[in-house]
Chains A and B, each alone.
Chain A
Amino acid sequence: MTTTTIDPRAAAAEAVAAAPVFHLEEEHAHAEGGSTMLGFWIYLMSDCLIFAMLFAAYGVLGGNYAAGPAPKDLFELPLVAVNTTMLLLSSITYGFAMLAMQKGRVGQVQFWLAVTGLFGLCFVGIELHEFSGMIHEGATPMRSAFLSSFFTLVGTHGLHVSVGLLWLVTLMIQVAGRGLIEANRRRLMCLSMFWHFLDVIWIGVFTFVYLLGMLR
């Protein structure tokens, strides 16, 4: 340290210049919602774990019929095929809604969202029809461990689709009120991930529960 009198402000500036920099120069303020997509993806992954546990429970308990009905007596594959088609069609129509969103066309977005909602409603309706038919035949969740785990797994998926439908209607109202603003685009993209993710889970359901069940 020299004893020459120096301007304290210049000294401070010198110290700042000499101090090591611990942050990247290009660090910038993050835009609102910039991390939403990653956060939502991580939520979906946690949801995936829930379904994995339900699949594991079904895998373990799925053979315990307790002298009750087996998959072959209960499942109607044509109905499941129709249901799968509904979900697949709703996936592609949601894709069309996303494409319309990229072009900024509110009317088209609303139209494709409505179509997606109708297909989703058909899916839930057919599933409820299937459940009620099973319950009328006496195949209630209380009948056997197989049926308990079946209703829990498929019911949880159906519940997710129903919540997705509620979200879809909410977003249609939002888009109708405020148009395709940045926040609404972000929400639509989150729902897009949710919706396609449910379709992925359904692939596991129809393969492992219905198709493999019929083979047993």
Chain B
Amino acid sequence: MSANLPAGHGTAGHDHGHDTAPGHATLRGYLTGFVLSVILTAIPFWLVMSGVLDSKQATAMAIMAFAVVQIVVHMIFFLHMDARSEGGWSLMALIFTLILVVIALTGSLWVMYHLNVNMMPGMHEMKQMP
């Protein structure tokens, strides 16, 4: 990573030739990420604050989808993640972490939800019986 990139190298960095060295950020990359994040933040807030969608379920699904997309945008444009950074090990660590996060989150919610349902008073004499 050199302090002053020659002009030719700088323009070459704009097309797909991403350097493997860290800190290959470009102004265009940051601005693209910023504009996308603003849009992806504004829409969910607007959806919830104005209540355009009648169904709460649909609104919830929409804002979660926007969050996932925005996280990916941040990863690419701000954290400069790609398959080649650190020889692919960053991505491997990220995938491993995501697997753990998914197991922990779905596992906790699933188990605790069923625990709550089954601890409900009076459920045994009601329709939940097989």
Q: How far is the CB of B33 from chain A (nearest CB, A)?
A: 8
* A interface with B by C-beta (< 8 Å): 37-38, 41-42, 45, 48-49, 52-53, 55-57, 59-60, 77-78, 80-81, 84-85, 88, 91-92, 95-96, 98-99, 101-104, 180, 185, 189, 193, 196-197, 199-200, 203-204, 206-208, 211-212, 214-215
Give 17 A-B contacts (CB < 8 Å), ordered by A residue.
A37-B22, A42-B93, A45-B97, A49-B104, A52-B105, A56-B105, A56-B109, A59-B108, A77-B48, A88-B38, A91-B78, A95-B33, A95-B78, A98-B25, A99-B27, A103-B3, A203-B67
A41 and B101 in contact (CB under 8 A), knowing A88-B38, A95-B30, A102-B25? no
Residue numbers in B under 8 Å from A59 (CB-CB) = 105, 108-109
B56 touches A99 (CB 8 A): no
B101 touches A196 (CB 8 A): no
A99 touches B109 (CB 8 A): no
User: What is the number of residues of chain B that contact chain A, defined by CB distance less than 8 Å?
Assistant: 47
Residue on A with the closest CB to B25?
A98
Residue numbers in A under 8 Å from B30 (CB-CB) = 92, 95-96, 99
